[in-house]
Amino acid sequence: MRVLMLSQFFDPEPNFKGLPFARELVRRGHEVEVLTGYPNYPGGKIYPGYRVRPWQREVIDGIRVNRAPLYPSHDKSAPRRIANYAGFALSASLLGPFLVRRPDVVYAYHPPATVGLPAMVFRALRGCPVVYDIQDLWPDTVAASGMMSKGLLFSLLDRWCRFTYSRMDRIVVLSPGFRETLIQRGVPGGKIDVIYNWADEAALNTSVENDDLARRLGVAGCFNVVFAGTMGLAQSLDAVLEAARICAASFPDVRFIFVGGGVDKSRLEERAAETRLPNVLFVPRQPMSAVGAYLSLADALLVHLKDDPLFRITIPCKTQAYMAFGKPVVMAVGGDASDLVNRSGGGVTCPPEKPEALVAAVKRLHEIGPSGRKAMGKRGKSFYEKHLSLTVGAEKFERVFQAARTRTATSLTNTMEIRRAA
């Protein structure tokens, strides 16, 4: 079938459901076209080689990519972030139907929630079903990140999301908790499917070993706890710094290595310097091709989010990458994410924002030794390959796409029969 991938974010921006997903669908015999914006995430600056124009077409790995204009931004400014999201939604709605060929099904990637506007435009003008993939539960995520407080704007955004869900043919969510929450908000359970995310398998080099890097960073021979990814308000990493402070006295060989960037990174670096933590190291954001070298340093890979009801029903995308890498996971996130790690046998769990509990989890992995950690990592990787991989996920999406297409065709047939009878 002909699939339109509608997403504000696409390669060369980091988006694990971007080009790898498109290539997998093409490998399975489908025709894929993309409608997206100009690459500017996560830095908020247009990537080299691009400039904002009324539209642009390019071909990436044989896949036609159409770009609609937007206002580039990704900082703490709510007005600029709104301009970024709304700009793409409007341009994709106005230009999209004229830029792309008529699809059999639209795959719409959310966030942001504003992508629902062009999705509904395609549904109305082209008569094609929409499969809506919800990766962040808005407006909850926006409020939890500190970008919005609960008030009039929160209420309006909540109404917009509920309206959008009611217009979608199928909805895909990343966890059972997301599904239950949407049902509580009035979305029929029969049109919601749970498909776990996968890792960017092509970019994740799981075979790399870099002893020279360990020596250069000064962590050779240490027990390394690695956090790789965004350092924002939602990650609440002050608790991890406090755990590092406790470990400095009890486990002097433990090192906490933070790899990545984010709006809260500078403050965290300042706090670590002020408190003179000898066992904390910050590494700049790395391209995905280089991340594997840093993950290979790890004796444990850390996931941490703030203690918020929203995060008890989400599964951070780094979870799958960590499992695919075959290293033990320390999951400091409650709910669905912890359940997934426990099911896999690939790590240990602890409550978020509890430094003492995090120290206990690190201690447990420290004490089981290299052979115990290796076995744990293998269990996690095996679970990933059987239940979470790109191949498994794409097969499930195929079934959802076909179900949406069949439902639309049946609805159209029934409408025509009613009109003929009248």
Give the chain's length.
Answer: 422
Span 133-186, pLDDT tens digits: 999 988 887 776 666 677 888 899 999 999 999 999 999 999 999 999 999 999
Classify the phi-psi angles of 221: left when phi > 0, otherwise alpha if psi is within -120 to 50, otherwise beta.
Answer: left
CA-wise closest residue to 187 among 156, 161, 165: 165
Q: How far apart are CA 190 and CA 49, in angstroms?
A: 44
Give the per-residue pLDDT at 206: 66
Spell out the domains of the chain, with CATH numbers in brackets.
2-198+389-421 (3.40.50.2000), 211-381 (3.40.50.2000)
Per-residue pLDDT at 401: 98
Residue 95 above 60 pLDDT? yes
Predicted pLDDT at 415: 45
C-alpha distances in Å from residue 375, one per residue of 201, 208, 369: 21, 18, 10
Q: What is the pLDDT of residue 153?
A: 84
Percent of the chain with pLDDT over 70: 94
Predicted confidence (pLDDT) at residue 418 exceeds the cutoff of 60: no
- pLDDT higher than 60, residue 412: no
pLDDT band at residue 420 using 50, 70 and 90 as cut-offs: low
pLDDT given at position 409: 59
Q: What pLDDT, on a 0 to 100 scale, did the predictor assign at position 46?
A: 96
pLDDT at 416 over 80: no
262-309 pLDDT tens trace: 889 999 999 999 999 999 999 998 887 788 899 999 999 999 999 988
φ/ψ bin of 285: left (φ > 0), alpha (ψ from -120 to 50), beta (otherwise): beta
Alpha helices in 100-198, H assignment, sequence order: 116-126, 140-144, 152-167, 176-184
- Percent of the chain scoring above 90 in pLDDT: 80
How confident is the model over 37-63, as pLDDT tens digits? Answer: 999 998 899 999 999 999 999 999 999
Nearest CA-CA partner of 178 in 243, 236, 128, 110: 110
Q: Which residue has the higher pLDDT, 241 or 250?
A: 241
Read off the pTM: 0.86
**Res. 346: pLDDT tops 90:** yes
Contact 204, 390 (CB under 8 A): no
